[in-house]
Chains A and B, each alone.
Chain A
Amino acid sequence: MSVASLSGSFEREGRLSSVVPDIVDQPVRRRTEVFRRLIVNRQAIALPAMFVVASVVFTLGSPNFGTLNNLTNVARQSVYLLIISLGQLIVIVGGGLDLSVGSVVSLTSVASAMMSVVFAACPDTPLLALAAGLGTGVLIGALVGTINGVGVSVFRIAPFMMTLGISSVLFGTTLLVSGGVPVYGMPPLLGEIFGFGRLAGFPVPAIVALLLVAVTYIVLEWTRFGRYLYATGGNARAAELSGVRTHRVCIAAFMLSGVLAAISGLLLTARLGTGGANVGASMPLDSIAACVISGVSLSGGQGRTLTVVLGTLLIIIVQNGLNLMQVGAYAQSIATGGILILAMALARR
């Protein structure tokens, strides 16, 4: 073959374009086509559909479900899990898994409560006590996240084991520090602002959560770091060969997750008025479930912020609705688990 015959084949290519439309423009049989589209896109449809179904069922099952009061309640209840799920999303997209979020919540809760109690001893500076509490919390989250990230990326420990180990370490630390009893005597200002406060009629925790959702969305979708995160989770080797410093990305992801868990812990402490070691126990699994029903792939590289918001809301709505329908706690646990499995079966790839 020569170059001349190469150009000859290009001419043949010209004919290709006249052939292609024949293949594409197949007759569309309307109903089957719609049905086919539904099946193909079931992953995207499953979550909103379940959302609607759950809302309808609960509205019919309990007259109180649809009230503004209850919806505000749902919004407020979902804040804590939502913030943690955002962190979980970041870590999972980067190819990891964070089981330590619950312990971070507990430790943050206890440590920040104790710090505020210490500073509350001098009553002239309520803001100092507040800042000490918040600062301690966020610092703890960042530190724990960094340790997780270094363990996973530098020492190549599987994220599951690394964060499980850290989780145990933190839980022990929390009990050791608090002596196993709840911490009382926090400055009331904390609860007034971050627990029950309202800004322009909106609960402060919800505003914080919305802000964090917006920040997470922008970071994941519109920054270089976000792109690197998806790349690292999708194919770490490829990312590395493209010049991405995957270790840093991994550490940053865990750090963000730690900080977000800490913020959630702070808001929860402010709401409860005490610091306790058991507040975050269900958080790791709930946050992972919220991500997975939102189509976040556990193998990394996939997942969108806004769907995770929807997934979290679904979990909270189910819990809230079952409460209103006066389903007992034991039966509730069965129902929640069943619904999660159903959601994942519907959203399967």
Chain B
Amino acid sequence: MSTSTPAQLARAIDAQRTVLRVKGLSRRYGQLVALEGVSLDVLPVEVHVLFGENGAGKSTLISIVAGAQEPSAGSIEGHGRPCRFDSVATARAHGVRAVFQEFSLVPHLSVAENVTLGEEPLNGWRLLSKGPERASVQGLIDQFGFDLDAGARVSALARGKQQMVEICKALKRMPKLLILDEPTASLSGRDTQALLALVWRLKEEGTAIIYVTHRMHEISLLGDRVTVLREGRFVKTVPADTSSDELIRLMSGREIVALYPKPRAEVGPVRLSLENVTLAPQPGVMQVTNASVEVRAGEIVGLAGLVGSGKSEFAQACFGLRRLTEGRVLIEGVPVSIKGPADAIRHKLWYSPADRKHDGLMLERNSRENIALSGLAAGPSRGSWLRPWQEVAYLSELASAVDLSAGRLNHRVATLSGGNQQKVLLAKSLVQDVKVFVFDEPTVGVDIGACMSIYRCLSELSARGAAVLLVSSNLPELMGLTHRLLVMSGGRLVGEFKRGAFDERRILERFF
């Protein structure tokens, strides 16, 4: 805190004005220590950023503050008075609301119905008054500047839009303290801007905000102070204008040389090409029209665009997950007919899905089974019998290749942090002989440490001659890793940029 200004110190001394003060908070799960003696204070008119790798205890800390978990030790004070948050409802009564990464939305209900859930407006007959309900929620949405229809069904919305529904839900009663857990992780473009502007405005209006993020530019843009956690322990609270190198050093406890490994210099022959692909129309999904891409051996090609621009659907086309009405898929120059994932894997092509929880992993099974699943036919357990011990030996090697500690192989995937889950997903793609990889949002909601492991792994794949198509909503990541970058908008490819000519502004312009 040596860099704090006198004004900040003066504010900190005034305990009455502290919105939230957490002292010596610990949380243990049996032997496992998730949080150990962490302290934090949040001032009014402040965006307090929590920063740390996955597993550093950020999620545990905010779920305790939000009342979703109880601490094993430590105390919480709100406005100088001790309080005990034994449930989400109690925390809410104290004006604390949280938007978690795990959505708590009911998929089959509409946006408006989700937002008012638990506090529905009733008419004189004690029946639901649906019209006013929808109008008031739409008003709320418009006020926040989100692009969202209150009548839409939540299950039909993309992840980013669902995130906004969550935020509307948290803000229908103006909270005193708002906790946002990586709110922009699944947003892109316009919605991110709207969200950041909203956070800014909320702060100006007097709401204190705890903001968990991995994105450096959000820290410098929004944050006032940053509290860094590492391995469940409090490291330091620093002002937000601390350099990102310093923040990363605090977070990881080591110096970090470069975030993005340099792409391989020369590329080989064309491995994958999609020619003039047009996909069959589906309701609620952007129709991809006449899109072509070529990926060469050793090359990483980026596919950028807004959420819902059709970039995921395009990528899924080569894995047989979408029906092509026109165009064809060629692997090493030979046209192939891919009817489904099994066909694609036979052609040495792999697609890693964006939504690890729904499409990627069996959450209730351990990492070992998850990783081995698609390689059962090829790995140590080939044939009809499983050989779990050989699997363990083989998979430990794979796990170390993606920086997943071997001990985690026997953990249930549901108990792993987002970063480790994503590493499991990445390891899944390595168990079979694959020459073309398609990664869809491989770093969504993942901390910088895990991101670096994933980046390193992607670049090693390309260095060994694999062709990689990287779909991502994170533009800096694409610009850091790829040889070439294509932009998709409205289901069409609208721009191509070579590595030397990457220009964030010009690329972003193509998004809209």
Contacts and interface: CB of A to CB of B under 8 A. Distances in A.
B128 A235 contact: no
Contacts of A9: 190, 193
B105 interface: yes
Interface in B74-94: 88-89
Interface string B279-320: 001010000000000000000000000000000000000000
A107 B368 CA distance: 51
B127 interface: yes
Contacts of B217: 1
Given A40-B283, A222-B127, A301-B107, A13 B193 contact: yes
A9 B197 CA distance: 11
Nearest to A12: B512
A223 B126 contact: yes
Interface in A1-44: 1-3, 6, 9-10, 12-13, 15-16, 19, 22-23, 36, 40
A156 interface: no
B58 to A, nearest CB: 19
A341 interface: no
A242 B118 contact: yes
A163 to B, nearest CB: 23
Contacts of A241: 68, 88, 104
A238 B105 contact: yes
B156 interface: no
Interface in B470-512: 490-491, 508-509, 512
B108 A6 contact: no
Contacts of A244: 117-118
A234 interface: yes
Interface string A212-246: 00000010011110110011011101110111100
Interface in B167-213: 169, 190, 193, 196-197, 200
User: What's the interface size class on A, roughly?
Assistant: 35 or more
A230 B512 contact: no
Contacts of A332: none
B203 to A, nearest CB: 11
A238 B117 CA distance: 9
Contacts of A242: 104, 117-118, 169
A274 interface: no
Contacts of A223: 126-128
B113 interface: yes
A1 B200 CA distance: 13
Interface in B107-133: 107-109, 113-114, 117-120, 122, 126-128, 130
Contacts of B106: 230-231, 234-235, 238-239, 301
A218 B127 contact: yes
Nearest to A232: B106
Contacts, number: 92
Contacts of B221: 1-2, 6
Contacts of B103: 238
B247 to A, nearest CB: 17
Given A40-B283, A222-B128, A227 B117 contact: yes
Contact of A243 (B107, B108, B118, B127): B118
Given A1-B217, A12-B512, A218-B127, A238 B104 contact: yes
A302 interface: yes
A233 B221 CA distance: 41
Nearest to A40: B283
A75 B108 CA distance: 32
A3 B200 CA distance: 9
Interface in B95-109: 103-109
Nearest to B66: A241
Contacts of A19: 490, 512
A303 B104 CA distance: 21
Contacts of A36: 281
Contacts of A13: 190, 193, 512
Contacts of B197: 6, 10
Contacts of B109: 227, 230-231, 234, 301
Interface string B341-380: 0000000000000000000000000000000000000000
B108 A234 contact: yes
A345 B14 CA distance: 67
B358 to A, nearest CB: 13
A145 B190 CA distance: 50
Contacts of B105: 235, 238
B195 to A, nearest CB: 11
A227 B89 CA distance: 20
Interface in B441-493: 490-491
A224 B107 contact: no
10 contacts: A6-B221, A9-B190, A218-B127, A222-B128, A224-B126, A235-B106, A235-B107, A237-B104, A244-B118, A301-B108
Interface of B: 68, 88-89, 103-109, 113-114, 117-120, 122, 126-128, 130, 169, 190, 193, 196-197, 200, 217, 220-221, 281, 283, 490-491, 508-509, 512
The 9 closest A-B pairs by CB, nearest first: A243-B118, A238-B104, A234-B106, A242-B118, A242-B117, A301-B108, A222-B127, A23-B490, A241-B104
Interface of A: 1-3, 6, 9-10, 12-13, 15-16, 19, 22-23, 36, 40, 218, 221-224, 226-227, 230-231, 233-235, 237-239, 241-244, 297, 301-302
